[in-house]
Structure 1
Amino acid sequence: MTQTPHVEETSLKTGKLGTGAVAFMIIAASAPLTVLAGGTPTSYAVSGLLGVPLGFLAFGLIIGLFAIGYGRMSAYIRNSGAFYEYVSQGLGLRQGIAAAILALVSYNLMQIGLYGIFGFSASAAIAAMTGVVIPWWVTGGAAWLLVGLLGMSNIDFSAKVLAILVTIEFIVVIGASIFGFATAPEGISTAPLAPDQFLTGGIGVLLAFTMAAFMGFESGAIYSEEAKDPERTISRATNIAVIVVALFYAVSAWAMAVGIGPSQVIDQAREYGPDLLFVWIGQHSPAIANLVHVLFATSILAALLAFHNAAARYFFALGRSGVLPEVFAKTGKSGAPIVGSGAQSVLSLLVVAIFAIAGLGSELGELFPVLTLFTWFTNAAGFGIVFLMAVTSIAVIRWAKEHHPDFHPFVRLVAPALAAAGLAVVTVLILMNFDIMIGDTGPAALVWVMPGVVLGSGLIGLIWGEFLLKRGRIRSVDGELDTGDVVSESDERIGAPKTPTPTLNP
């Protein structure tokens, strides 16, 4: 009897995703409606500044600079463990393994944390429309089941589901923005666009909070093995997502300030928090406010699925290369990483169950999952991902210098260097303001514990990488052992598919 070749059991389904599908994946992870309803009011409230739209544009510029080198690298290096492969190619395999473990922890923290706000929001929406009060962990459990099933299905099916959800989000946010400019109790003010409302005290907090709006944009490269045209799809999708998201968030934040009134938006954001959008719309139409509340929950559901897919593919990439047990590299008939997806689902279930039990009788009441699970986990994840992007920018510079000195200097040096500097500054700002970001809903030690968990995972990855390399346990997709030094331009590396180097104009 002829056995199926090992490589076929550990290969993702190729040629499934086009530019539009990948862009939807990226934007879904950023969750536009979630940002408008949750992130934007929080930014106004905590920073005390009207310059939230400029904050989105500023961070969008940093991300755009990062995307230049990151996108070019994705055309040459295709691997579902994006940060893993990119850091390995630029800085060495030990550092790449550290980045991979840190990324795996960060994506899981982000995905699991979102169950907190989904459970709360879905339950609140049901209660508002029907009067039936359902515990947050019940609605969160329903989302968990749906995400788990979609995560094990064909990736293009997940992409279609996300496309529908993201399209609805765009329609709602555009509608809310038009509504804001149309009502404008104080007129269409440009105060939120004034530099003195951005370049002043509080800018650090503002940038730290606007960072969360862009989480997930870097996930496009994770789908490089499943893209129809990897040489162009990932770069194009990433650039489209960055531009659309930055402009979209800036305009919608400006519209919210105009719709509520620049003189009132900060005070009302502090009073109502994430409910501000629903209160604002509900003053004019309670029915529409309830509908937006439901769509807010589906927006979070889209982000849950996007981050689940990202975490599952990191499990897959690490299993294929030998960093994790080989079983994680198993794919199903759909081509999805079924073991990685299952592992992410089990981990999510365990953590959500712990928080569900811990929340029983809590003095925080119905806000418990938002103020603990969501706030603690997602802010720690944001810190980890921004830190990884800064490291990856440095890796891009070294990789381009050694293998593509023909690239334009702006692509191989200037853009990634500026991105690394900007991301490093934001990383420090997050650490400096982490106490503000997580509030006072837990032990004071959380200010150090949560970032420590993220950085500690990277340190463990570095040690684990050294251990594996000394024992020759790192392999490529065809089973050949890896030496662990900075890679040559051969694509013979930690599971990267053997594809010819594309010829692109620098």
Structure 2
Amino acid sequence: MLLFTLSASAPLTAAAGLATTGYAVTGHAALAPAVLAVAVTLALFAVGYGAMCHRLAHAGGFHAHVARGLGRPAGVGAAWTALIARNALQVGLYGVVGAAGAPLLVRWLGTAPAWWLLALAVWALVAALGVLRMDLTGPTLAALLLAELAVLVVFGLGRLLTPAGGALDLDAVSPARLLTPGAGALLVLAVVGFVGFESAVLLREETRDPRRTARAATYLAVGVVGVVLAFSAAATTAALGPDRAVALAREHGVELLFDLAGEHLGEALTPVGLAVFVASAFAALLSLHHTTARYAFALGREGLLPAVFGRASPRTGAPRVASAAQSTLGLVVILGCAAVGVDPVRRLFYRAVAFGGLGLLLLTAVTSVAVLVFLVREAADEPWWRRAVAPGLAAVALVAMVVLALADVATLFGVAADAPLRWAPPAVFLAVALVGALWAAVLRVHRPARHARIGLGPESVTTELAAPPAPAPGARV
């Protein structure tokens, strides 16, 4: 359970790809305190989230918890928000896989094709594996995860032992930097590093001691990701200084951590680290493809997407329509970005992932409020710590993070502070939530059986089958 949860987060992709690109775009490098703040908040969130999951017959995605806590209209808005955010995270990774794979081929073969050709090769492999439902095996995941963690720890120690100017800049990693302008942008990037942390709770039924095992795996996943990402970010910022870290990130891009390691630990480590990074990004891409396709499948089953999305392959059981839709979206994005010359890292990868991260932060904040409302209303037998204190603290912290993120939304996306388009990303999620609430109202009036299925997951099918038929016009009831 812990292995599955940690593998989905792809710590090396977050540290070497998202963090360094975030430094270059935002101009801020104080990511370490942001990661620790998010880790503590998610640990508090997991207390109430786990308690609520154990009271639901179906522990589905966040939208199921929002539907049970705040009502079905809010649940539909949360469902569509999650789908958009997950799609953005997934398609954005094609940019960094293509861009990071090119330097490797140059080192090995002396030449490399355009980034989008490499992205198309990865896209074809992901599309095939998604339809065939061929997940990475446990030993492969374990080996890749250990390699990622080893690269981050070894490379981080190398930077700490060879700081620029001979001394570490500890002020660069001070928690006080979260009170400076730009902190909201770093909080959004930190949230992306914990993608999939809730997976352990969703797998609890497959363990002998569901409550204890899921809780332990969730806390361990948040703790491991938080410590490793914070250590890597702190090592870079403290060793280089925030200003130089930003300047080097703009110069080296996603190769920054590996080029620094080559300078201090030997050039042979640079291609090794880069190869593990590409493998990490591919594993994250494949994982997101599988989970997003199955999320669309669940929404199709609940009637929140066209029914065709809720159909599985009779041969493999995989959600082939939802998977094909994922692949089609990826193909369109890759070809579209190649046609207009979009930068694969700073535009496709970073902006898509930042957009998805903002959506995840908004979704987690709404879910935290829903968990608090549900537990206060329906969990009188829970200790106050699980019922109100921890969920309340998490809700307050997450809402505060949303406020900071919206205040720094221009910094997050690297646009002018007065640019009208800076409000486009949050406006998209607001519009989706409002349309989702409206659709729930329509279902309640015209299709009450489908409305009753919202948030029920696998139970949605039996709910509709068990619903009594509507009486004929004029019949006595």
Q: TM-score range by the shorter chain?
A: 0.7 to 0.9
Q: Give 1:243 deviation, angstroms.
A: 0.8
Q: Structure 1 21/320 Cα, relative in aligned 2: closer, same or farther at 3 Å?
A: farther
1:398-436: per-residue Cα shift (whole Å, max 9, x none)?
A: 221232111111212122222222222222222222222
Matched residue, 1:275: 255
Is the contact between residue 56 and residue 250 of structure 1 (CA under 8 Å) also seen in structure 2?
yes
**Which deviates more, 410-419 or 207-216?**
207-216
Q: Give 1:247 deviation, angstroms.
A: 0.9
Is the contact between residue 74 and residue 231 of structure 1 (CA under 8 Å) also seen in structure 2?
no
Matched residue, 1:173: 152
Paired residues for 1:55-134 under 5 Å: 55-77=34-56, 79=58, 81-134=60-113
Is the contact between residue 183 and residue 408 of structure 2 (CA under 8 Å) also seen in structure 1?
no
Q: Structure 1 279/483 Cα, relative in aligned 2: closer, same or farther at 3 Å?
A: closer
Paired residues for 1:251-290 under 5 Å: 251-260=231-240, 264-284=244-264, 285-290=266-271
Q: Structure 1 184/428 Cα, relative in aligned 2: closer, same or farther at 3 Å?
A: same
- Given candidates 314, 320, 334, the residue that maps to 1:352 is 334
Is the contact between residue 289 and residue 326 of structure 2 (CA under 8 Å) also seen in structure 1?
yes
**Which deviates more, 270-279 or 455-464?**
270-279
Paired residues for 1:249-398 under 5 Å: 249-260=229-240, 264-284=244-264, 285-332=266-313, 333-359=315-341, 368-398=343-373
Matched residue, 1:462: 437
Q: Structure 1 223/129 Cα, relative in aligned 2: closer, same or farther at 3 Å?
A: same
SS in 2 for 1:217: coil
Is the contact between residue 21 and residue 350 of structure 2 (CA under 8 Å) also seen in structure 1?
no
Distance 2:441 2:56 in 1: 23
Distance 2:229 2:261 in 1: 18
**Which deviates more, 37-46 or 279-288?**
37-46
Distance 2:169 2:132 in 1: 48
Question: Which amino acid in structure 1 is aligned with residue 9 of structure 2?
Answer: S
Distance 1:217 1:427 in 2: 19
Q: Structure 1 292/343 Cα, relative in aligned 2: closer, same or farther at 3 Å?
A: same
Q: Structure 1 444/130 Cα, relative in aligned 2: closer, same or farther at 3 Å?
A: farther
Q: Give 1:22 deviation, angstroms.
A: 3.1
Distance 1:446 1:422 in 2: 27
Paired residues in the alignment total 459
**Which deviates more, 180-189 or 391-400?**
180-189
Is the contact between residue 365 and residue 399 of structure 2 (CA under 8 Å) also seen in structure 1?
yes
Q: Give 1:21 deviation, angstroms.
A: 4.0
- Given candidates 416, 424, 428, the residue that maps to 2:391 is 416
Q: Give 1:203 deviation, angstroms.
A: 3.2
Distance 1:473 1:139 in 2: 48
Is the contact between residue 79 and residue 495 of structure 1 (CA under 8 Å) also seen in structure 2?
no
**Which deviates more, 408-417 or 176-185?**
176-185
Matched residue, 1:16: none
The percent of aligned pairs where both chains have the same amino acid is: 36
1:152-195: per-residue Cα shift (whole Å, max 9, x none)?
A: 44576455544332222112112212322343452566444444
Is the contact between residue 66 and residue 370 of structure 2 (CA under 8 Å) also seen in structure 1?
yes
Distance 1:228 1:111 in 2: 33
Q: Give 1:123 deviation, angstroms.
A: 2.0
Distance 2:41 2:210 in 1: 24
Matched residue, 1:22: 4
Question: Which amino acid in structure 1 is aligned with residue 411 of structure 2?
Answer: I
Matched residue, 2:381: 406
Q: Could you list the runs of 5+ residues in structure 2 that have no partner in the other structure? A: 464-477
Question: Which amino acid in structure 1 is aligned with residue 288 of structure 2?
Answer: F
Q: Structure 1 270/447 Cα, relative in aligned 2: closer, same or farther at 3 Å?
A: same
Distance 2:37 2:177 in 1: 13
**Which deviates more, 460-469 or 180-189?**
180-189
Distance 1:108 1:272 in 2: 27
TM-score relative to the length of structure 1: 0.81
Q: Structure 1 69/103 Cα, relative in aligned 2: closer, same or farther at 3 Å?
A: same
- Given candidates 229, 242, 248, the residue that maps to 2:228 is 248
Distance 2:453 2:178 in 1: 48
Q: Structure 1 190/38 Cα, relative in aligned 2: closer, same or farther at 3 Å?
A: same
**Which deviates more, 333-342 or 383-392?**
333-342
Matched residue, 2:475: none
- Given candidates 230, 239, 248, the residue that maps to 2:219 is 239
TM-score relative to the length of structure 2: 0.85
Q: Give 1:71 deviation, angstroms.
A: 2.1
Distance 1:93 1:142 in 2: 41
SS in 1 for 2:268: helix
Distance 2:453 2:252 in 1: 56
Q: Structure 1 446/146 Cα, relative in aligned 2: closer, same or farther at 3 Å?
A: farther
Question: Which amino acid in structure 1 is aligned with residue 291 of structure 2?
Answer: A
Q: Give 1:108 deviation, angstroms.
A: 0.7
Q: Structure 1 471/226 Cα, relative in aligned 2: closer, same or farther at 3 Å?
A: farther
Q: Structure 1 474/438 Cα, relative in aligned 2: closer, same or farther at 3 Å?
A: farther
Q: Give 1:350 deviation, angstroms.
A: 1.9
Q: Structure 1 204/104 Cα, relative in aligned 2: closer, same or farther at 3 Å?
A: closer
Q: Structure 1 76/230 Cα, relative in aligned 2: closer, same or farther at 3 Å?
A: farther
Distance 1:143 1:223 in 2: 28
**Which deviates more, 229-238 or 385-394?**
229-238
Q: Give 1:46 deviation, angstroms.
A: 6.1
Q: Give 1:468 deviation, angstroms.
A: 1.8
Q: Structure 1 428/444 Cα, relative in aligned 2: closer, same or farther at 3 Å?
A: same
Question: Which amino acid in structure 2 is aligned with residue 239 of structure 1?
Answer: Y
Q: Give 1:48 deviation, angstroms.
A: 6.1
Is the contact between residue 148 and residue 342 of structure 1 (CA under 8 Å) also seen in structure 2?
yes
Distance 1:219 1:355 in 2: 32
Q: Which has the higher helix share?
A: 2
Question: Which amino acid in structure 2 is aligned with residue 141 of structure 1?
Answer: L
Q: Structure 1 229/110 Cα, relative in aligned 2: closer, same or farther at 3 Å?
A: farther
Is the contact between residue 260 and residue 280 of structure 1 (CA under 8 Å) also seen in structure 2?
no
Distance 2:113 2:458 in 1: 52
1:324-364: per-residue Cα shift (whole Å, max 9, x none)?
A: 233322334444333322221222222222222222xxxx6
Matched residue, 1:482: 452
Question: Which amino acid in structure 2 is aligned with residue 482 of structure 1?
Answer: A
RMSD, aligned α-carbons: 3.2
Q: Structure 1 81/242 Cα, relative in aligned 2: closer, same or farther at 3 Å?
A: same
Q: Structure 1 157/336 Cα, relative in aligned 2: closer, same or farther at 3 Å?
A: farther
Q: Give 1:452 deviation, angstroms.
A: 2.2
Distance 2:268 2:401 in 1: 40
Q: Structure 1 40/183 Cα, relative in aligned 2: closer, same or farther at 3 Å?
A: same
SS in 1 for 2:66: helix
Distance 1:161 1:32 in 2: 16
Is the contact between residue 55 and residue 210 of structure 1 (CA under 8 Å) also seen in structure 2?
yes
Matched residue, 1:431: 406
